[in-house]
Amino acid sequence: MDAAPPDFDRDRDLGILAQIEGELADVEAALERLESGTYGQCEVCSASIEDSRLEMLPATRFCRAHQD
């Protein structure tokens, strides 16, 4: 079986890197909200985000109603 072309591997790796960098940015933003006292509040309506949602998605910025 032939190996994947180098461009494919590079593109895949760059895609993975972009995803990881995005996740890191989300975590850093969540830490900033924690420091400012706004962690767990929806950025759209300021309602409290459910604990179960925060457990599943700790870096989420939105309540269920505004997730999209």
Q: What mean pLDDT is reported for the chain?
A: 93
pLDDT band at 4 (very low <50, low <70, confident <90, very high): low
- Using CA atoms of 24, 29, 34, 40 in order, give the dihedral in degrees to the nearest 10: -100
pLDDT at 33 over 80: yes
Tokens of 8: 């494919």
Listed by start position, the domains of the chain span: 6-66
| Spatial distance between the Cα atoms of 17 and 31, rounded to a whole number of angstroms | 21
What pLDDT does 5 receive? 76
pLDDT at 7 over 90: no
pLDDT at 8 over 90: no
Q: Is 17 exposed, middle or buried (0-12, 13-18, 19+ CB in 10 A)?
A: exposed
Average pLDDT over residues 15-39: 97
pLDDT at 46 over 70: yes
The CATH class given to the 6-66 domain equals mainly alpha
